[in-house]
Structure 1
Amino acid sequence: MGLQEEFEEYAEKATSLPPSTKDADKLILYGLYKQATAGPVNTSRPGIFSPKERAKWDAWKAVDGKSKEEAMGDYITKVKQLQEAAA
């Protein structure tokens, strides 16, 4: 299985993580997913009155500079860790 296929498989598995998954972990996954699928941040930072969107943007910006492959690998690893923690 190639990296792209494995990434897509784990992206699907991430949707079934338990509701108890911490927001910080969800933001890490969001940032890695965006970096892997959209590349570097290509929008301006949302304003202070959009705290949720701002947190998501910050999570994406935090992984700026990672290659698509690096972001995919890190995403897969993080989903595996969260699945193990939930088991």
Structure 2
Amino acid sequence: MNIQETFDQAVARSKTLTEKPGNDVLLQLYALYKQATEGDVNVEPPANAFDFVGKAKFNAWESIKGKSKEAAMQEYVELISKLK
């Protein structure tokens, strides 16, 4: 099975986790997913100073800028497997 298929299965498994991960883990999953599917951050940071969730997501994604899509997929798969 190639990394794309493994990643797709991990994404499907992420929707059926028995326990909701903490915010730090959710941000890490978000950033890895976005990096794996879209590459480096390609949007402007939220303009609203009170959009704390949007800023946290943006910062998490930006923090892994330069990571290859394959590496992001692999890390996402590994993180989901730990959460089972």
- Counterpart Cα distance in 2 of 1:20 and 1:41: 25
The count of corresponding residues between Structure 1 and Structure 2 is 83
Aligned position for 1:16: 16
Task: State the superposition RMSD in angstroms.
Answer: 1.1
Q: Are 2:36 and 1:55 aligned?
A: no
Aligned position for 2:71: 70
Deviations 1:44-81 (A, max 9, x none): 11132211111111111111110000000000001011
Deviations 1:30-51 (A, max 9, x none): 0000000000001111132211
Aligned position for 1:6: 6
- Counterpart Cα distance in 2 of 1:2 and 1:34: 19
In structure 1, runs of 5+ residues without a counterpart are none
Q: Which of structure 1's runs of 4+ aligned residues deviate more than 4 A?
A: none
Q: Are 2:36 and 1:36 aligned?
A: yes
Q: Report the CA distance between 1:21 and its aligned residue.
A: 1.3
| Partner SS, residue 16 of structure 1 | coil
Percent same amino acid among aligned pairs? 39
- AA in 1 matched with 2:68: S
In structure 2, runs of 5+ residues without a counterpart are none
Query: CA, structure 1 residues 18+59, in 2 after alignment: closer, same or farther (shift >3 Å)?
Result: farther
